[in-house]
Amino acid sequence: GAVVSQHPSWVICKSGTSVKIECRSLDFQATTMFWYRQFPKQSLMLMATSNEGSKATYEQGVEKDKFLINHASLTLSTLTVTSAHPEDSSFYICSARDSQGPYSNQPQHFGDGTRLSIL
């Protein structure tokens, strides 16, 4: 079946550093990818929607300069948390929509998430 690979699965780093998270669709093309943030025991909060080759669309309240998204190819999107601080610690999940088929029926597949801890 369709697989979305998210890397790294876990990262710990010092406050002030930047962290890049990769999201790859392994056996399908994904024109659109999504980035979510999940706090402990809470639901997924959509951060941004990215389309290959264009700028990401950020949800209200999400700082685009803080969370840089690049979707340079049909199989890869990256999220960079710039100058990370402890409050950025969270579980980040990416999702990729399979470009094949009718738009309204395109399945959305999820990565296994990245646990980010900022000390």
Partner 1 sequence: GNSVTQMEGPVTLSEEAFLTINCTYTATGYPSLFWYVQYPGEGLQLLLKATKADDKGSNKGFEATYRKETTSFHLEKGSVQVSDSAVYFCALRTKSGGYNKLIFGAGTRLAVHP
| Cβ burial 47-65 (10 Å sphere, 16+ → b, else e) | bbbbebeeebebeeebeee
Sign of the CA dihedral running 20, 23, 24, 28: negative
- The verdict on 54 binding partner 1 (CB under 8 A) reads no
CB of 42 to partner 1, least distance (A): 7
Spacing of C-alpha 102 from chain mean position: 24
Distance separating alpha carbons of residues 99 and 66, to the nearest angstrom: 28
List the x/- string, 98-117, binding to partner 1 by CB under 8 A.
-----xxxxxxxxxxx-x--
Interacting span for partner 1 (CB under 8 A) from 14-22, 41-49, 67-75, 77-85: 41-49
Residue 25 sits in the site that holds partner 1 (CB under 8 A)? no
Please identify which residue in 12, 15, 27, 46 interacts with partner 1, judged by CB under 8 A: 46
Given the rule CB under 8 A, which of 14-22, 42-50, 61-69, 74-82 is the region that contacts partner 1? 42-50
Residues forming the site for partner 1 (CB under 8 A):
4, 6, 32, 34, 41-44, 46, 49, 57, 93, 95, 97, 103-113, 115
